[in-house]
Structure formats: C-alpha cells, structure tokens
Amino acid sequence: MASPNLKRMFAADKLKLGHSIFEFNSPGLGQIIAAAGVDFVFLDMEHSGFGIAETKRAITGLRAGNIPTLVRPPSDESHHIGRVLDAGADGLIMPMVSSKEEAEHIVSCMKYPPMGKRGVALNIAHDRYQPGDAAATLAATNRRTAFVALIETVEGIENIDEIAAVKGLDCLWIGHFDLSCSLGINGQFDHPDFIKAANKVKRAAKKHNKALGRLTADAAGAIALNKQGYDVLCYSGDLWVYQQALIAGISAIRDGCNPARAKEGTRKSQRKSPRKRAKGN
C-alpha cells in the first residue's frame, strides 16, 4: 500500500477533514475512523500520555485504515522530530511556532539532505519496512512529509507573514485557545483582538498559498469556519466524542426511566438564558 501524501492533500483545493486522538490507542481505530470518511488524524503527544512507543503502535493501527497521521511532538527538539517521523508520522503539527527561524529549524530537522539535516535510517517504520533505492526513498519522503505550524502566540501573529513564506511549510493552523491566552483574552473567540489576529493568519495563508487549519468542537462550528476560508478542519477528538455520546445516552435513559426527573430537567432548561450561538472552537 502506497504511503499517503499529506503535502499533496494539504495543497489540494478542497476541504480536508480530520479527527484528533488524545486518549485511546485501540488497534481498530484506523478502520473505525476510515469508515467515517475522515481524511487524516491529528495524534497528540504534547498534552496526552502518548510516548514514542504508544505513538508508533497508534500509527500502525491507523495504517490499517490507510489514514495519514499528523503528529504533534512534545517539542521542536531535533530528537523529538526525528523519532516521531521514524515511527511513521506522515506529517508534523508543531506547537508554538512564533518566528521564521523556528519554522526553518523545523523544516531542517524533518527533511533529509539536501533540504535538511534529518538523520537517515532506512527500511524501518517510516518507509513501511520496504527495501528500495536509498536516494529515491529519501527524495520521496521529502515530497510527502507535511509541516503544519500552530500559530498560537502573539509573536507568531506578529511574524506571520515571514512564517508563512518559509519553504516546506504546508499549513497555518490557529491554536485558538493558546492564542486567546497569549492575547490576554482567555477563551474569548469573539473578542475583536482574537478576530483581528485570526484574520491576519487568514491573509498570510492566502498570500502564500498555504492551507488554513483549526480544531472545531462541533459540526456547526466547522461549517462556519469553512465559510470563513478554513480548508483543514479537525473535528473534535476521541475522548470528547465518546464522553459527549455517553453523557447524552445515559441522561436520555435516566430521563426515560424517571419521568419526574425529565420534567424537572425541562423546567431547569426553560429557566436558563437563551442558548448562545454555536462557535467554531
């Protein structure tokens, strides 16, 4: 089976839909996610408990569904970048990219010579244990391995045009919670300062022909973001989808088995303020 080409996917003029994995590492996940029509997976190592061994196992399972994996390493240290790629990641989504120099450092660490300085180990997980011509393998890997920059700091916004211009970068992705905190407006995604910052990233992505990405909690939010120009959308994550479905199901059963509880719940909801407009978080 051919290796997925994330660079080509991000460059395509169409909607790319992903799903994030923060918690679960079942061998069946790849096939389950593929059956849902997901285009790629965002596998997190920064905020999860996944180490390199768990990440490698997760990628192997995702390959059963031929789902390309975008991994967020815990840092931009060269050993984190190299090991994640050697474990089979099809691309990297790098946290807190705040300058042109940082972006260039990441490209150098993730690309083989002559594009970068990534160390060479062949016929292992990253090339699916397939023997072949070394020069051709290295060149093909450089052509398909994608780099997504998470823009989530004030410095990243200030330097966004220079970051977007870096050769080898494929997608600008707004890390909305961290960016709001860096702006001093924690979680206020309708704040004028957040909107201004997001619009600056959008303009840079369009100017430099980069994909534009963001994580979203719900379908309505994803649709709204797509209308704003986002073409890479990551819908929620494994633990949140499971948690929300479980809460909804258990609550429905309890309400159905206890009509008095359901009636009280209805009265409480009527006393609450009108529901706020859905946001693409």
The tokens describing 235, both together, are 């819908």
Residue 275 in this model has a pLDDT that exceeds 60: no
The CA-atom distances, in angstroms, between 41 and each of 55, 182, 191, 207, 210 are: 12, 26, 30, 27, 19
Are 91 and 111 within 8 A, CB to CB?
Answer: no
| Residue 47 among the catalytic residues | yes
pLDDT of residue 153: 98
Top pLDDT among 121 and 275 is at 121
- In the structure, what pLDDT confidence band is assigned to residue 281 with cuts at 50, 70 and 90? very low
The tokens describing 132, both together, are 């072949």
Residue 41, φ and ψ in degrees, nearest 5: -120, 140
Top pLDDT among 138 and 259 is at 138
pLDDT of residue 267: 64
User: Which listed residue (47, 79, 80, 191) is catalytic?
Assistant: 47
pLDDT tens, residue by residue, 114-172: 999 999 999 998 988 889 899 999 999 999 999 999 999 999 999 999 999 999 999 99
The tokens describing 194, both together, are 């957040």
pLDDT of residue 4: 83
Residue 250 in this model has a pLDDT that exceeds 60: yes
Mean pLDDT along residues 90-106? 98
- In the structure, what pLDDT confidence band is assigned to residue 277 with cuts at 50, 70 and 90? very low
Mean pLDDT of the chain: 93
pLDDT tens, residue by residue, 190-233: 999 999 999 999 999 999 999 999 999 999 999 999 999 999 99
Instruction: Say which residue the tokens 């780099």 belong to.
Output: 147
Domains of the chain: 6-271 (3.20.20.60)
Kindly report the three-state secondary structure assignment for every residue of 79-143: HHHHHHHHCCCCEEEECCCCCHHHHHHHHHHHCCCCCCCCCCCCCCHHHCCCCCCHHHHHHHHHH
